[in-house]
Structure 1
């Protein structure tokens, strides 16, 4: 349950902000850390600014003793309000808690997936409607042509390279044999880089109309057989000029080409063709939207700054290109940089810090709270040690191997469940700092 806060005639901004976290314990159940993350993301990624939250500091203290931050924190200013979630489940099942994976990544909700699917269908319907309007209500292959904006990305730019050839229009009265063809190229590694080694083409009835191996201009280093199907015994290889001649005879300018990454295939073939349809995204738009949302990426999209203060390995993994990073080698260095960055005059919107729990955790929280700029939130997660849990997981993996003479039994699983329950029981302390204690919501 949340700790008691100073009374006020009306909810202050701080109290209103923390009430959303307190609500997680309203049904007397132990909330998941992922639920805390969801509330945090809603506040931090608030697009209309109604939350009024300008800065967030998330501090994860691992190897924390069971009594860490259990007592009230003294010496906080009058514009600071605190609450505590005394018991938070850090992971589900018997999994090893990974706070960075839980707090910095959020799965896409079913509502968002459905909305993305609906938007995709709506976009296609609008495209069909617009096409029919401009073509007297008739549908045809022209619908599948790439628009000019796509052609600029697919068709090679004007070049003086004489090795490029361009598909020619049919002569008057000459029938169009293949109105639509799908093309794919495979490559091999040579002394000059990657070069064309195979060309395959099928028609709209899935019939293979061309499948030829191509002799690269330079000596081959790797046939990439697992992808191209080409190996050293293959002797019937066409030259680049021969495959171009075959393509020009097969593909008139009126034929529509379909494929994935056609710009790469056309470049490898040294072919210019202007009637092109790009294949669907892989994975699809819906599949892409189903990937977990990364908090740092969401912040970057909103032009909000983020800072990772952690070990060098964690900085490389978490920051990527979406956040600044300060690698540290000791807990004291982490805490120093967290405080220092808050007092630079231009603190980041989001600060992440992770280190071993210090002996005087209450003093640390008090000091960071004092350095918080107005309209800020400090979220501290106390995590028990997981060394024993990791050892049991390793033992279970070893004994799960059929070659192991000792098998994993029920008594060991029972022990794992007990250890996991202890390692997954964390504590969350929240500190909200406003302009002054009695300020109303901005």
Structure 2
């Protein structure tokens, strides 16, 4: 079906004010111009669930090898090897297979007691204090600690890794060259572990043999290993930290549903899925268009940038008809939301993020059945990709 539009709707991913609440614009994009073109920044955008879902699955047409951020693709900067989220098959398949060794169901499940123990140690001293900050006390702390647990970094060193890596405020843009590629945060530990192999996952990643795209059987180079670890840390830190913040904000805004979770903790896993759908940490991801493609009767030419509006797709009434997708409902049959993308680039850390979100929420609700946000001190920050809280202090009885 051909969709024609004379709509004047405008979406600017760099507009911080609009990013605070992009959903009214997303609604208009879905209804008025499902294949949107922004002339100022020269990108196309898909906003409907079906269109975004299909594009995520078509890695031959919408490629990641030029980057997944608008400014990154437009810069045409070379992508160093090992940056797996910026790769395409077959190289991506090889590198993803290596990282997948860190994320088996058994290894993720084995982390739960450590994650829960850490939450207990953080939250117990806050009981009776009159409040805490979902970001400062949890969102900036837990994700990097868990990455340390996953990699086998000793607990006494995890705090240093967290502090050095997490020096930027949650919600501020990540400097690509600095945090994604430099590897300085983990370099000392990687070098030490190379001299002192153990039975941890870091050693496993160092020593794993694989056949690369040239048919050579080898292990990862030091630079590749550091790139892997920094991508893992950056993705896990940004996504999970924002999920924790949105859990605090959303349940403050829906106290009746929060009380349901207190009364029945078995509802928490589905509540996490609904939070992920309702307030995804990443608003969008981009792809380079490798060949001409026709969508709704409109041709998007090869060489274009396609922005896939994940947050819009998650609220598309064509996918979520009842209740209203702009309504938060912990009883919703969420199904396949697109927060973690789909297909070849489905987030490897999705199960880990879900585990962390669930355990944090269970332990918070156990101690603090009631809270309200300190609106004077809360800070919402939106970048061209991410949207979340840099501060979310709450008051507790």
Which TM class, normalised by the smaller chain length?
under 0.3
Instruction: Identify, as 1 or 2, the structure richer in helix.
Output: 2
TM-score (normalised: structure 2)? 0.19
TM-score (normalised: structure 1)? 0.18
